[in-house]
Structure 1
Amino acid sequence: MLTAANQTPLDQKRLNILQEAFAKGLLKPGMNVLVDKSKKFVNNVDGMKQCLADLRKNLPWVERLDLTNLPTEDILSKVEGKVPALANGEVNADDDFQREMFFYRQAQATVLEALPLLNKHGIATKRPDDYFAEMAKSDQQMQKIRKKLISKQMSLEKSEKAKKLREQRKFGKKVQVEVIQKRQKEKKAMMSAVKKYQKGMTDKLDFLDGDQKTGKDSSDGSKKAMNKKGPNAKRKYKDKKFGFGGKKSGKKWNTKESFNDVSGFRAKVAHAKGGKKGKGGKQNKRPGKSVRKKMKSRS
């Protein structure tokens, strides 16, 4: 929309003309409607033939190397007894496989016809053994690519090495945990065997030599020890120390015989005349407090 701020003198003149035409009633609806005009296609056959005649040159085939061939015969379909997909050389443009096979067999026919012609004109169709083609990229660019490939390979080797180290550490931790668990298990088994020995459930000391059996064998051994006839080692030790039962009180009372028996009397022990003696038969006595203070002050 034109306003007073952005209109030019030409726009102002056009606006005045439109206003005058509107006032006179010259403007009618539908005058500015766009109408699509159909495009006219020109097929100038004579002109195209003339252009083709101008482009055509009477050159030998060696300079042109052009061939127009029909596709080769579909031998596979013929052997299998199938009906050829193409009828009268027509190709279904919507069938991608049929179209590509047509191009492939047409290329085969062209090669079969072109090779004898090339050999006839002395044109080599095979690359010589000592042929070195010029590289598309320069040596500097290839050196950059080589360095990049080497750096990439080194980074891959480093990552593989780090991965192996991580796996080794995990394996080492696993082995360490297994060793610790094994030691704890052996320690637990030994403590259990010691408790059983203390309680008199077994009289074997094989666990001290590291030959303690765990699991079913140890449980069977403890049961056999409990079912074994006769007292165990702990009972024997207590019987030796305390006797075999009966009256315990009054065992240390004096009797007439014990009163008259003075064979075990020691006068030195009874009158505190015995004891340890140092060199020369003299008894070692500790100096008094005052003597020890004087000895410290002298030193």
Structure 2
Amino acid sequence: MSEHGEESVSGSDSDFDPSELTDKELQEAFSQGKLKPGLNVVLEGKKKPFNNVAGLRQSLEDLKKDLPWLERLDVTAAPVSQAEGQNGETVQNMQNSNINAEDDFQREMCFYRQAQAAVLFALPRLHQMKVATKRPDDYFAEMAKTDQQMQKVRHKLQVKQSAMEKSEKAKQLRALRKYGKKVQTEVLQKRQKEKSAVMTQIKKYQKGLSDKLDFLEGDQPQKKKDGSAAKKKDGSAAQNKRGPNAKRRFKDQKFGFGGKKKGLKRNTKESYNDVSTFRASVAHAKGPRKAGKKGAKNTNKRPGKNVRQKMKNKSR
């Protein structure tokens, strides 16, 4: 237990930091003898000021070099006496001490007037030294990038533009394909609906629930409410009103007007009961026979097979 206690005491001494203690804790630590000499530093005298003007001037003198003004281009000038404000008003010169540093407008105007004073001092001096202050009209500055780099940039832009064009074309094709599928689906759905409707009508007709067959006349020209045929784009309805053409009229005159041909000779109830034209001699072949009919002698009758064979043998 004692060993652990000594380790804890030594550990507490090693972790002890006087800077984190309050005044009361420092007094208690001093009374217990935990404070050692050298931890506290007593400052003697006042701190030296940070704005050491003499030192700064000395450093400036050390950095100065005897160069002509054209190499240095340094200008020290006070702000101009007058300057135009934002709205064209005249701003009088103000001393640096009168300028409020927190006022953005006054501060920026002070910078502007001081730069203006430097320009007014430097430009005439440069002109006296015959130094050009304006860029000539035919001046071409050298590009920072080489021609190879610009070619790479141009190639990259062309590739990007072609990729965008391909993407737009692909979008248009997808849109057209989607529209075509939509139209095709609508047409198929319409056909399916018509087919299902026709099948429903057929089932009703087969079961005897309906006696109308109007659903089979889907391809026939629709009739209006007044019973007249609807006009078609080719003018067939107007032609029906004028009547058939000359070719149709000629055939009707020559062959008749058509109509039913099959079953014309079949008896009806009226023809079956009508016996006014019945002749028994004609019906039962009891009357006198005419030449060329059954019973008359036919001289041109073909001989039989046996006779023809005998005639052939004789000729041999």
Give the TM interval when normalised to the shorter protein: 0.3 to 0.5
The TM-score, its normalising length taken from structure 1, stands at 0.46
Larger Rg: 2
Q: Which has the higher contact order (CA 8 A, sep 6+)?
A: 1
